[in-house]
Structure 1
Amino acid sequence: MEHKDKVLTDKEQRQVLYRLLTYAKPHMKLLSIAFILLLLATAAELMGPILVKIFIDDYLTPREFPVNALIWLGVWYIVLHISSVFINYFQSFLFQKISLRIIQQLRVDVFSNVEKLGLSFFDKTPAGALISRITNDTESIKELYVTVLATFVQNIMFLVGVFIAMFYLNATLALYCLALIPILVGLMQLYRKWSSKFYADMSEKLSQLNAKMNESIQGMAIIQMFRQEKRLRKEFADVNDEHLEAGMKSMKLDGLLLRPMVDLVSIAALILVLSFFGVTSFVSPVEIGVIYAFVNYLDRFFEPVNQMMMRLSLFQQAIVSAGRVFKLMDHKEYAPEQNGNEPLNVTEGDITFNHVTFSYDGKRDVLKNISFTVKKGETVALVGHTGSGKSSIINLLMRFYPLDRGEILIDGMPLHNYPNDELRKEIGLVLQDPFLYTGTIASNIRLNRDGVTDEQVRESAEFVQANEFIEKLPGRYEAPLAERGSTLSSGQRQLLSFARTMATNPKVLILDEATANVDTETEEAIQTALRRMQQGRTTIAIAHRLSTIKDADQILVLHQGEIVERGNHEELLERGGLYHKMYLLQKGSDSKVKMS
């Protein structure tokens, strides 16, 4: 998915608006009530000038002041205004209630689609940009429902009412005033056309700001260690300046096309009305109440126009934001799914790779003709320099990416025939850098998986010897964890990831350099836990330290995406090839460490 968003055409903007409005369908009952209240409030406001006109022309001008009639006129005027206040409050409350529910559903929909996307999407999309779309952009859309649509509907209804009242007072002058509508509509269209580009640029820069912040916060230790604060601060400031520049352009446009232009048109309209009544007065008498009511309605006509023009900026921001949200919601780069609906189960866990070739970008193969078999109870180790393809083999087996060529079999059946739930349940993955969530020890082991009981949580922790340090924590299994488990040592975090994996008793175990970042304090416990975990299971281990895979049934040596050597530890050493060179290099490094 491209990170740079194109400016939406008029047709695309209409499609986005229509799609946004479809989210209101489940709330039609509440919307109907809100619209009825809106209609009543508008009618109450429009009746005010009519009552004043009656007072001026029927009572004040002829100097007739019947007490009862004037009291009723005053009572109706006050009742209408008070009713308008209360009705406006309730209709505004209903519109905002509906708006919040719509945004709630929209956020759930877009996040649900993000969860379905494959790792290939996340590989090229900054996390900050995604967060910006799910939070900032949906917040902009909320303003469309809370502020813009309610204001537009209310003011359009008010304008229709104003023209009805104008035609009631003077049909000829009302026809002249209709000429104002095309001018105002033209201003709105001109504003929308120019502002869409600026708001798209602002949203894009805000996404970049979020991405830069997210990356900096996540890598703060590296930034401070290598004293990169100044460089990162400058990069952040540059993007921030670009966001400011885009914002200033939109503000200049707002200052030119919004209120000033509308005020200019309103002055011209007032001159037209007064000139009309001035010329008419030479021919026939003009009622002062009619002049008052007409000027009052004209003023009330331009106030809602001003409100709509001022909210056009919010409308344009919402449309741009909605376009970005819907683009993310419609993105179909999904993780590979099962072919067919057959409920296959992993029984033994035997794994076979047959002539597997794979490329991330469709141009350069990172795996070339990979073939091997590992049976239940056996351990196959993958070794090789960085970029040799070890992790890619794991990614394909976990079905994180679609397979290009060749086939992968589990228990003799193609990998793509298995349901995702079955693969995630029966294939346990332990990563080099375990990810722990904010919560408790127990919640991080359970991960809210159905069927994992408190007893299983404890048993899995005891199985990998994690219970030894858990029992010493205040609160034990309910001890709170900070983000990413920062209060634990690397070895303790790894033991928790072991317990998390073993909680479902998987038939296949994948170890992605599981001991690479382990401290010496827990290394012995981890090695013991690994041996227990591998017993009776199909195990594929990516090894960084060759000393940890001496007992593997088969070792595959990868180089530039190909298997260049295979055999057990002794066989590969006797062969004197790449594995032998790697082993000597590591043995030499270990000797230097011991000597120091």
Structure 2
Amino acid sequence: MNEEKNTQFSGRGVMKRLLSYLKHFKWKATAAFLALIIATGADVLGPILMKIFIDDYLTPRRFPTEPLVLLGISFIGVYAVSAMFHYIQVISFQKIALNIIQMMRVQVFAKVQHLGLRFFDQTPGGSLVSRITNDTETIKDLYVTVLSTIVNSTIMMIGIFAGMFFLDVRLALICFILMPFLLLLMWAYRMLSSKVYRVTRVKLSQLNAKLNESLQGMAMIQAMRQQKRLRNEFGKINNDHKKALLKSVRLNSLMLRPAVYSVYLIGLIMILGYFGVQSFDSVVKIGVLYAFINYLDRFFDPINQIMQQLTIFQQAMVSAERVFGLLDDKRLAPVQESDANPKVSDGRIEFRDVTFSYDGKTDVLKHISFTANPGETVALVGHTGSGKSSIINLLMRFYPIHHGGIFIDGQPLTAFSDEELRKRIGLVLQDSFMFVGDVNDNIRLSHHEITDEQVQAAAEFVQADRFIKKLPGQYQEPVGERGSTFSSGQRQLLSFARTMALNPKVLVLDEATASVDTETEEAIQTALAKMRKGRTTIAIAHRLSTIQDADQILVLHRGEIVERGKHQELLQKGGLYFTMYQLQHGKGSGKAASVSP
């Protein structure tokens, strides 16, 4: 699936990038690592104190009060220090991890908002939700448990080796022989598990995408009785996800505790064998034997912890690849390419020989040229797929232009800032999107400079106030997700008010009356007439009766302008526009001259 296509990183590159987030919290991280070192040092010191007690006091049966009390207090103090600093380092690492994930999620969300529509055309929404939530949550576990565990275990192993060398250099060297086997085991597990977890994350992303699609289209699913088909598709992806998880379970069952325990037994045999051979020539110190076995247990305990954390580590690395792939995605929305910062003053729109393709292979627009003068209405008509919406998308700078140019008041479209374009070009879509909030918020949006009086004035201008004042909360009436409690006509009027609150110079209409009821259409047509007055208007029209008064009508066919002119002129030509008009009015073929609009 296209949504899974992202930049591939090396494991070292991913880890380096993950660790780079720690620089924002370097002092807190330093304090956490210091607390971890102190706690680990206390853990290592405990067996040495016990060895002193066994060899110096218990074995020779010497029990002087003062040294034993001091030794006992030291032993209790060491473990108290260990407990206290372990608590401090756990809390510190948790706080750092939560702050990093909060930062990362904001970065990902901000990046998504700057991606171009080409990206969203190719990426299911559920996949994005999975990356922003599930994948970043998995990365959080890396900081919370994996890094602290690995650092803790590494420091513990270094401390244990130091204790072993302090007690017996030869025995410590024998134990050191085990390290290559353990490192080889870790490497093999990481290589095998990376493929399994990558499939698992992909399948989870596909599950989210399918779930999101089903929830968004539930009305159509129920109306067309597609429940069984969707259940089967969801079940297949879910089954694939289960199979991937079972593979990881089998891998973990084989290569985690059983494999590590086998190496532990080898180490235990080596230590007991060493002391057994040594006992033939000299007396074995019980304290040293106790300390070594204790160290061996403690040495393999962090090894087990590291191996178990490798499961989370591998999942986090795969998730990080997906998140960083999203952060590094190059399919950005077009932006300003000039420092001139021109302003939209008159609203004169000009397309000059514009050719455009979504995929870089098939041109959906071919050599489009036209001019919309200030105050004029230019209507775009044509069959589905003729290129009408593509012209709107390019004018709104949703997609980059690779051939030709678009100009506003003589300035290239790329010279304007996003703020200037969005403020001066008002867009009204066929399906108006409503945000969760209230009526006031949906008209004002985030434009805090628009006062309540201006909001109400915009609503009155487009005649939306007629139904708003009948609502229980009026302008404070709650709006649910996508405005589901409002009719399509009411949502459209709110969209008109939202546009007019900004008082744009250019008005872009994508068949604003296509999905409204007959009762509301008259109010919308009146509102549109008022909105268009004095503004340059580019309007997509499916119903030709709504654009008969347009100053210029462009008839598109397969991405080209095949006819242009006013309503009567196009009817007289008897071409494609004439045919479309005849079909919409239920008339058979006839001569253009006989048509009376």
* TM-score normalized by the length of structure 1: 0.97
Deviation at 1:2, TM superposition (A): 4.1
Deviation per CA, 1:492-529: give whole Å up to 9, x if none. Answer: 00001101111110000000010000112311111111
Match of 1:540 in 2: 538
Match of 1:434 in 2: 432
Specify which of 328, 337, 340 is matched with residue 339 of structure 1: 337
Deviation at 1:392, TM superposition (A): 0.5
Deviation per CA, 1:118-154: give whole Å up to 9, x if none. Answer: 1111111111111111111111110110000000001
Match of 1:594 in 2: none
Deviation per CA, 1:355-377: give whole Å up to 9, x if none. Answer: 21111111111111111111111
SS class of match (1:293): helix
Give the distance between the partners of 2:371 and 2:443, measured in 1 at CA.
31
SS class of match (1:448): coil
Match of 1:165 in 2: 163
Specify which of 286, 303, 306 is matched with residue 305 of structure 1: 303
Deviation per CA, 1:42-99: give whole Å up to 9, x if none. Answer: 1111122112111111111111111222222222222222221121111100001001
2:433–2:482 contact (8 Å) kept in structure 1: yes
* Partner AA of 1:466 in structure 2: A
% identical equivalent positions: 61
Give the distance between the partners of 2:360 and 2:24, measured in 1 at CA.
43
Match of 2:513 in 1: 515
SS class of match (1:121): helix
Give the distance between the partners of 1:428 and 1:181, measured in 2 at CA.
67
Match of 1:477 in 2: 475
Match of 2:567 in 1: 569
Give the distance between the partners of 1:8 and 1:543, measured in 2 at CA.
45
Specify which of 572, 576, 579 is matched with residue 578 of structure 1: 576
Deviation at 1:39, TM superposition (A): 1.1
Specify which of 459, 462, 478 is matched with residue 460 of structure 2: 462
Deviation at 1:422, TM superposition (A): 0.9
2:349–2:373 contact (8 Å) kept in structure 1: yes
* TM-score normalized by the length of structure 2: 0.96
Match of 2:265 in 1: 267
Match of 2:182 in 1: 184
Match of 2:62 in 1: 64
SS class of match (1:39): helix
Give the distance between the partners of 1:259 and 1:333, measured in 2 at CA.
45
Deviation per CA, 1:267-300: give whole Å up to 9, x if none. Answer: 1100110010010010111111111111001000
The answer for unaligned runs of 5 or more in structure 2 is 588-597
Match of 2:594 in 1: none
Give the distance between the partners of 1:4 and 1:336, measured in 2 at CA.
23
1:428–1:509 contact (8 Å) kept in structure 2: yes
Give the distance between the partners of 1:375 and 1:3, measured in 2 at CA.
42
The answer to which of 193-202 and 47-56 deviates more is 47-56
Specify which of 76, 79, 93 is matched with residue 95 of structure 1: 93
Match of 2:450 in 1: 452
The answer to which of 109-118 and 308-317 deviates more is 109-118
2:131–2:323 contact (8 Å) kept in structure 1: yes
2:8–2:325 contact (8 Å) kept in structure 1: no
Structure 1 residues 8 and 585: alpha-carbon distance in aligned structure 2, compared to 1, 3 A threshold = closer
Deviation per CA, 1:408-430: give whole Å up to 9, x if none. Answer: 11112221221221111100000
Deviation at 1:571, TM superposition (A): 1.6
Residues 239-388 of structure 1 aligned to structure 2 (within 5 Å): 239-388=237-386
Deviation per CA, 1:197-222: give whole Å up to 9, x if none. Answer: 11111111111111101111000000
Deviation at 1:458, TM superposition (A): 1.3
SS class of match (2:389): helix
Give the distance between the partners of 1:410 and 1:570, measured in 2 at CA.
28
Match of 1:3 in 2: 3
Match of 1:154 in 2: 152
Deviation at 1:4, TM superposition (A): 3.6
Give the distance between the partners of 1:369 and 1:272, measured in 2 at CA.
82
1:425–1:504 contact (8 Å) kept in structure 2: yes
* Partner AA of 1:288 in structure 2: I
Deviation at 1:7, TM superposition (A): 10
Match of 2:137 in 1: 139
Structure 1 residues 266 and 293: alpha-carbon distance in aligned structure 2, compared to 1, 3 A threshold = same
1:7–1:197 contact (8 Å) kept in structure 2: no
SS class of match (1:588): coil
- Superposition RMSD on alpha carbons, in Å? 1.5
The answer for unaligned runs of 5 or more in structure 1 is 590-596
Give the distance between the partners of 2:68 and 2:3, measured in 1 at CA.
67
Match of 1:220 in 2: 218
Give the distance between the partners of 1:7 and 1:184, measured in 2 at CA.
31
Match of 1:592 in 2: none
Specify which of 208, 232, 235 is matched with residue 234 of structure 1: 232
Deviation at 1:6, TM superposition (A): 7.9
2:6–2:322 contact (8 Å) kept in structure 1: no
Give the distance between the partners of 1:42 and 1:516, measured in 2 at CA.
70
Specify which of 109, 112, 128 is matched with residue 107 of structure 2: 109
Specify which of 55, 71, 74 is matched with residue 73 of structure 1: 71
Give the distance between the partners of 2:526 and 2:4, measured in 1 at CA.
50
Match of 1:15 in 2: 13
Residues 190-209 of structure 1 aligned to structure 2 (within 5 Å): 190-209=188-207
* Partner AA of 1:158 in structure 2: M
